[in-house]
Amino acid sequence: MNLKSIIFSFMTATMSLSALGEASQNPFLEPYKTPHGAVPFDKIKTEHYLPAFKEGMRQQDKEIAAIVNNPQAPTFQNSIEALEHSGRLLDRVSHVFYNLHSADTNDEMEKIAKELSPLLTEHANNISLNEKLFARIKTVYDQREHLTLTPEQRTLLQNTYDHFADNGANLNETDKATYRELTKQLSAASLQFEHNALKEVNDYSLLITDRSQLQGVSPDFLEAAAEKAKQKGETGWILDLSAPSYVPAMKFLDNRDIRQKLYMAFTTKGTHGDANDNRETARNIVNLRLKIANLLGYKTYADDVLRHRMAENSANVYKLLNELLTAYKPEAEKEYNAVQTYANEHGATFAIQPWDWSYYSEKLKAEKYAFNEDALRPYFELDKVINGVFGLATKLYGIEFRPAKNIPVYNSEVKAFEVFDKDGKYLALLYTDFYPRAGKRAGAWMTEFKGQWMDGKINSRPQISLVMNFTRPTASKPALLTYDEVHTFLHEFGHSLHGMLANTRYASLSGTSVYRDFVELPSQFMENYGTEKAFLDQFAVNYQTGEKIPAELIKRLKASENYNIGYLCVRQLNFGFLDMAWHTLDQPFTGNVMTFEQQATQNTNILPVVDNTCISTSFSHIFSGGYAAGYYSYKWAEVLEADAFSVFKKQGIFDPATAGSFRSNILSKGGTEAPMILYKRFRGQEPTIDALLEANGIKE
């Protein structure tokens, strides 16, 4: 059983007669007849999912029964490893369904997801609350000091025991029944939260029919907005809440009223008292998590979660957040005053509001550094950026990306690549999905259709997916990315390297299956290359002239790298404090969500607080995305990545020996050992906050 999630396991299995009878019609129920065992998206239909899920659960139930009824004494192999290897069909269909549920969903899939939620929760509970199964696990666990196990096997044993204990195995029968009901409710509530958040983004559009109201934005922006209007049968320009529309509008649109409308739409998602309102859903999720934590013997949900994080407890999280707040808030306040002064000098007669911040900040940045991010876009044609980012991995690790032939994809916009190691061996499949569309949730993420694991001498290689919401090409121009989008690409590609370079025995310890506050190290590490001339010179050329990005422009980009760094850090701390406030509650929450949020974040406010706005009601990271009591992880990992990149800066940013050490000690090891042990093998010491402060210009 892959402890990443009981629901996500991998196909082996002997099929039942009924399954064999359906195999010719349901592609999940037979081996994939595709290169590298790629998912046959061209053969999968919506009606295949539910039967495949049910067969996957049935098969895993049979596998669990075989473990429980084994007449031999419990051993690591016949209990722990056998459990790890169970449920492979269920894992197979789960990875496809839930990845497409995020990247390419439709109404029918939404219905299936709701139907599956209680079934999968019940199935997971049937395993984690199986007394006989836990008795076998505990027998092996109690013998752990006398067993000859590798470090990876010891980690698997510890994780397996902890997983059962954390999911109610030690509860009495009454409490187990309560646990089952609470987890069912939590699963359904989390699904509802994500559904509502996606609907809020998809349902909003602002039609502008007067061109004079769109002064300040680029011709590319206007062309894309006009195309959206055309697709909806309208004449004019449509602005919406997707990142390629919202972010440039807030930075460059001169019309303050429209910026305010967009800002209010963006920051009131899930608060309108309609079917998509997430206030009660957020309350419900927080209270269900608290009840579950209390049932398991913990005072707060954070107390439960943080036992399996590098931070270990909420005191250490708050220590980091407060240290960073002390270091960065004075700088953030200076930055706010500088932008306010600039705005006043350029005709503003008002105090800067949140919908003014990006606009005037961008203008001050352009004046201060003779730099405007739009000046970079002609040098960031998507295809060239892809070549540059892939080429960076080639320089660092020797791996090669080749466009894949005969690999099915789930949408015509998706591309597949075969990845080969420096010795020519097949390493992974990589899917890229770059553009926003209906049915795709907002943001950017890395995921997998299949993880990496070893079965005997066979090293089963991963199938990784990169999903973005980047600026689309227009009728007259290719996709030209903003610098922020290039930055995002590097970040998510760092996650994908963590998946593609995985080389562990067990799926549940492979790739990104690491502590939440360690998982962002590889991704944030890659962001450092975004302002390095030696990297940009590899690919950043003008899409019309072929001219390399000018050295002076890179110099100005580099000089502006820490522009408003105080504000940006405090903004992240705002999210971190809010997350911790929700998940350190020790009493059920019945109050006003907006009031609670304002109180939780008051020490991190730099901009004025606007009435009736709310982050929590669309904060999918913590309410449906796995970062509950963990949003601090971004800053925790930032300390790690700044410390790690300082080694590269010293040895050379493409130094093969340093990259080889990072690969062998961090990227390939997954969660096979404690993160700090892995990090110290690479670095030789524990990280300090100093490298981050120096990189951000806070400390000399």
Active site residues: 492
The three-state secondary structure class of 447 is strand
> What's the order of all strands across the beta sheet hosting 415-420?
400-403, 415-420, 426-433, 463-467, 445-450
* Separation between Cα atoms, residue 648 and residue 642, nearest integer Å: 10
Query: What kind and span of H or E run contains 239?
Result: strand 237-239
Which residues contact residue 546 at a Cβ distance below 8 angstroms, ignoring those fewer than 6 apart? none
* Separation between Cα atoms, residue 232 and residue 226, nearest integer Å: 10
Listed residue (38, 115, 16) closest to 460, CA to CA: 38
Buried b (16+ CB within 10 A) or exposed e, 348-364: beeebebbbbbbbbbbb
Place of tokens 């407060």: 322
Listed residue (503, 505, 520, 452) closest to 95, CA to CA: 452
Residue 460: burial class (beta carbons within 10 Å; 0-12, 13-18, 19+): middle
Which residues contact residue 154 at a Cβ distance below 8 angstroms, ignoring those fewer than 6 apart? 144
Place of tokens 């050490």: 661
Q: What is the signed CA dihedral for 244, 248, 254, 257, rounded to 10 degrees? A: 60
Q: Between vectors from CA 485 to CA 482 and to CA 487, what angle results, nearest 5°?
A: 115
Name the region of 30 (left: φ>0; alpha: ψ -120 to 50; beta: rest): beta
Which residues contact residue 452 at a Cβ distance below 8 angstroms, ignoring those fewer than 6 apart? 428, 459, 460, 461, 462, 499, 502, 503, 504, 507, 510, 511
Listed residue (335, 333, 363, 334) closest to 348, CA to CA: 363
CB-based contact 506:80 (threshold 8 Å): no
The residue type at 672 = T
CB-based contact 613:264 (threshold 8 Å): yes
Strand pairing class (426-433; 463-467): parallel
Which residues contact residue 617 at a Cβ distance below 8 angstroms, ignoring those fewer than 6 apart? 197, 269, 270, 271, 277, 278, 279, 282, 593
* Separation between Cα atoms, residue 185 and residue 196, nearest integer Å: 16
**Beta-carbon neighbour count of residue 111 at 10 Å?**
12
CB-based contact 152:504 (threshold 8 Å): yes
Q: Which two tokens stand for residue 675?
A: 């993160």
